[in-house]
Structure 1
Amino acid sequence: MTKEEWAALGKELGSVFGRAELLIDGYTVNFEVQQHKMRLVIAVFVNGWMKGEWLTKKTEECTRFCRPIPVSLYSPKMKKSIASKFSKRAIKTHFPDIDKKGAYYLPDWRSVASMKRHLIKNNTSISVVRIGLTSVTTEGAAA
Structure 2
Amino acid sequence: MEQADWDALKEQMASPWGSMKLRCDAFEVHLSQQTDSTKKSWSTLIYVDGYLKGAWLDCDHKTGVPKHEEARRFYRKVTCSLYSKKEIEAYRKVFGKRKATEMTATKFITYDWSWKSFSSLKKHLLANNTSITRINEI
Query: Shift of the alpha carbon at 1:15?
Result: 2.2
Find the counterpart in structure 2 of residue 45 from structure 1: 47
Normalised by the length of structure 1, the TM-score is 0.72
Find the counterpart in structure 2 of residue 79 from structure 1: 88
Question: Does 2:41 match 1:35?
Answer: no
- Which is further off, 41-50 or 74-83? 74-83
SS of residue paired to 1:17: coil
Question: Does 2:34 match 1:25?
Answer: no
Find the counterpart in structure 1 of residue 12 from structure 2: 12
Query: Shift of the alpha carbon at 1:26?
Result: 1.1
Query: Shift of the alpha carbon at 1:98?
Result: 4.4
Residues 125-136 of structure 1 correspond to what in structure 2 (within 5 A)?
A: 125-130=131-136, 133=137
Q: Distance in 1 between matches of 2:83 and 2:16?
A: 38
Q: Distance in 1 between matches of 2:126 and 2:27?
A: 14
Whether the 8 Å contact between 1:74 and 1:99 is mirrored in structure 2 is no
Whether the 8 Å contact between 1:66 and 1:107 is mirrored in structure 2 is yes
From 99, 104, 111, the equivalent of 2:110 is: 104
- Which is further off, 61-70 or 6-15? 61-70
Letter in structure 2 aligned against 1:8:
A
Find the counterpart in structure 1 of residue 64 from structure 2: none
Q: Distance in 2 between matches of 1:101 and 1:64?
A: 22
Query: Shift of the alpha carbon at 1:97?
Result: 5.9
Normalised by the length of structure 2, the TM-score is 0.74
RMSD (Å), alpha carbons: 2.5
Structure whose alpha-carbon radius of gyration is higher = 1
Question: Does 2:77 match 1:68?
Answer: yes
Letter in structure 2 aligned against 1:28:
E
Query: Shift of the alpha carbon at 1:24?
Result: 1.2
Stretches of structure 2 that go unaligned for 5 or more consecutive residues are 60-67
Q: 1:87 to 1:41 in 2, by over 3 A?
A: closer
> In percent, how many aligned pairs have the same letter?
33
Query: Shift of the alpha carbon at 1:6?
Result: 1.2
- Which is further off, 6-15 or 113-122? 113-122
Find the counterpart in structure 2 of residue 140 from structure 1: none
SS of residue paired to 1:30: strand
| Equivalences, count | 128
Query: Shift of the alpha carbon at 1:27?
Result: 0.8
Q: 1:84 to 1:106 in 2, by over 3 A?
A: same
